[in-house]
Chain A
Amino acid sequence: MLFTSPEFLLLFLITFSIYYLPFIKQLQVYLLIVASLIFYAYSQPFLLLLLVFSIFINAYTSYAIVYQANVNRKMLATAGVVLNLAVIAFFKYSGMLANTLSAESGSVGAFLVSLPLPLGISFFTFEGISLLVDTYKDKTPNNNNSFVVTSFRQHIANTFLFVSFFPHLIAGPILKAHEFYPQIKIKVFARIDWDGAFRQLVTGYFLKMVIADNLKDQTFWISYPYFLKMSSETLLCMLFGYSMQIFADFAGYSLIALGLARLFGYELKQNFRYPYISATFADFWKRWHISLSSFLREYLYIPLGGNRRGKGRTYLNLFITMFLGGLWHGAAWSYAIWGSAHGLFLGLERLTNDKFTFNNTRLLRIARGTLVFTAVTFTWLLFKLPEFGQVIKYVAAIFNNYSIYADIRKITLIFCYSLPVVIYHFAGYLKEGEKGYLIEKGEWALYGLMLFLLLTNKGTSADFIYFQF
């Protein structure tokens, strides 16, 4: 179910109108679970079983880690993590493996290739892992009681809500158990942060429906072999537009998720923080898909040794983390190459910083920011084009097609629809500096304009790009 669809609006309105009724307050968690399961089952009813199975396993294992006597907690947590990884590997990567080994013609290979990819599998399995690791490490704030409550029934309900809560179920943000469980309690209508929810929902829907959905019609032509006939300027503009589109699409989705969760009394962590103003690759990964990058840092990079085992090992750890982070996005080698490229960028950046000292001048920051943006944008081609060979052809066409007429219509449309994303980042830059007041003064006009464009200028709706992951 899309956040932009009428069916979703209906589900949301029904759930929200019941949620805060006084006689429902003890059942709020259950109501959200039912709504979330309907939300999930609407697209893939038969795969609901997998989600329920995954939740049960994680709920049981995490409960056993805390309360079961005479048990090897480490062994149990490890087994749970391995099981989660096995589920994601089976459904997401076995097809890729069969294709790579050219085994798809055999009956087993054909079966593996034909497996459906359950919506949100990368998200809910990672949340399962977070639950098990956090339970094992007991990351409860203030180290009071464990967030795993003593009642098993209640723990199952809490886990159902944690994993399946519909705002984040299909495309994140990826929640961490130690941040979400403490928030599960009775919610009161009077405490809704209407202002925050309004800002997040308007910006989120605007980014998705006005920007991403309109840009997608322009960037559609980044597909082989159609791009071969386009001019260098058009190809560069389309690539720039795709960079804006992927941000608007995913950041839009995340903001809608945050706004919806806020209406139900839950605060999810910000998933994007103006990523395109980053002056370094390390900074970019602190601003882009924050829930994934912080997950990878906490549950992969640091356990691998982080930067504690010498420089060489740090570079290697960065590379491994990003390589696996790339594969997390999809079962294709192009995603692995994308992740490896980012691992390489991060490693080289750290190596440069280790070897040389730079004066942090404004000019240098702008130059580095441009370099980061260019590299990030070019690597998005690996998301858009299914084969690495096509990526090479696209880049070659940029250099070769300088003599073909530019498609002015496409370029102006990309410019017009990218401009709000550029302004959004500029506003972010001002907010992070000392000139945020300049934006705050006229915010009402910006939100008013966004509402107007939502009414008059929305594009044809399409799935969110991150649904495929």
Chain B
Amino acid sequence: MKIKSILFSVLLTGGYYFLCNYWEDIRFRYEANQGQWSENAMKAQEFLYDLNTPHYSCITGSSLGFNLAGNVLPNNYFNLCFRGQSVIDGLELLEYKERLPDTVFVEINYVSRGRSKDFKRKIASNRYEVNLKKHLIFLRDKYMPVGIVANYMEGKINFWRQRYKSLTIKPSANAPVKEIANGLPKIDKVREDIIRLSVKTMRIVPDTASINTTFSRTGSLLKALEAKGVTIVFFEMPIDCALVNSNLLNKNRKEMEQRFTKQHYFYIAHEGCGAYYTVDGLHLDHESAVRYTNYFVKQLQTGH
């Protein structure tokens, strides 16, 4: 039984190798996007294996920077911000990249969050694994078979939902949706709850030892890039006014500015907290994300 099972799994793996390499539907049409962690992994692998532009810049950061509008950013900009993660995760990936970017943009809002061990282990625990996944593409997250099947099913269900609209449930008045009143967003109850919770959690600053470890690691990664001729630019994503001066963010700003002084490094100017709308106090909604990305690009053209 054991031998038969192992041989069968080898057969399946071989078959899947050919499907992923030679069947265009799997290679290009479907992807196993399973939510934010899977999206992070796929993005990291796309950056490691598929980005071959000779000159490019990349943006590192958390889910805040993740929301920057891709269609507004210049074509040779790669957004390496990961949802639920931190700057370090993006910077560590650069260690595996042969061709380094010209400029690295660093979102400073959540630097103190530290690296994700699980992410590092999943994407690139060592160079051998990176090389293995370079050649055996079916080992990448984009090609996870169950994710692809689910993605296919989702497409079919949505197709049938569209076709039989009478069966589709419409959002009702009590659904928490964003409404506009007098040109200003009307805050819904859930959003308020989330912001209140964030106010509470962002009062807490990690202990000094962990702050030192995280910022030292970030600092050494950035200095190493700088030594190789990469330009470093810092920016802070706009968030809700209730959170902008939280202990956590003040600490992040202070630590960053101590290590990378404004006299020597370019910081994209902050526009203030009231100019944009966030869905939960931290993350910009689409419209605001587009507006801020335009501002971001404009600042680069004028100040950098």
Contacts and interface: CB of A to CB of B under 8 A. Distances in A.
A438 interface: no
13 contacts: A195-B1, A225-B190, A225-B197, A226-B194, A403-B169, A404-B175, A408-B161, A412-B150, A413-B34, A455-B139, A456-B144, A457-B146, A461-B122
B300 interface: no
Contact of A214 (B33, B34, B171): B34
A228 to B, nearest CB: 5
Contact of B5 (A6, A220, A451, A461): A451
B175 A408 contact: no
Contacts of B197: 224-225
B258 interface: no
A443 interface: yes
Contacts of A451: 5-6, 9
A448 B4 contact: yes
A194 B6 CA distance: 14
A417 interface: yes
A448 B7 contact: yes
Interface of B: 1-2, 4-9, 11-13, 16, 33-38, 41, 118-119, 121-122, 125, 138-139, 143-147, 149-151, 153-154, 157-158, 161, 169-172, 174-176, 190, 193-194, 197
Given A403-B174, A416-B153, A228 B146 contact: no
A interface, size bucket: 35 or more
Contacts of A445: 5, 8
A456 B33 CA distance: 14
A334 interface: no
A416 B2 contact: no
**Top 5 A-B pairs ranked by shortest CB distance?**
A448-B8, A403-B172, A451-B9, A447-B5, A444-B4
A210 B190 CA distance: 33
Contacts of A5: 121
B157 A448 contact: no
A211 to B, nearest CB: 10
Contacts of A406: 169
A425 interface: no
Interface centre among B35, B38, B158 (most CB of A within 10 A): B35
Interface string A200-214: 001000000010001
A408 B139 contact: no
A217 B151 CA distance: 15
A262 to B, nearest CB: 14
Contacts of A409: 33, 35, 150-151, 154
A194 B13 contact: no
B1 A443 contact: yes
Nearest to B9: A451
A451 B2 CA distance: 11
Interface string A204-238: 00000010001001101000111011000000000
A198 interface: yes
B12 A448 contact: yes
Contacts of A460: 37, 41, 118-119, 122
Nearest to B169: A403
A401 to B, nearest CB: 8
B253 to A, nearest CB: 27
B138 A456 contact: yes
A460 B280 CA distance: 26
Given A195-B2, A462-B118, A225 B170 contact: no
A402 B139 contact: no
A67 interface: no
A456 B171 contact: no
Given A6-B125, A448-B12, A456-B16, A412 B154 contact: yes
Contacts of B169: 402-403, 405-406
Contacts of A412: 150-151, 153-154, 157
Contacts of B151: 409, 412
A221 to B, nearest CB: 9
Contact of B9 (A413, A455, A457): A455
Interface in A277-327: none
Interface centre among B33, B146, B157 (most CB of A within 10 A): B146
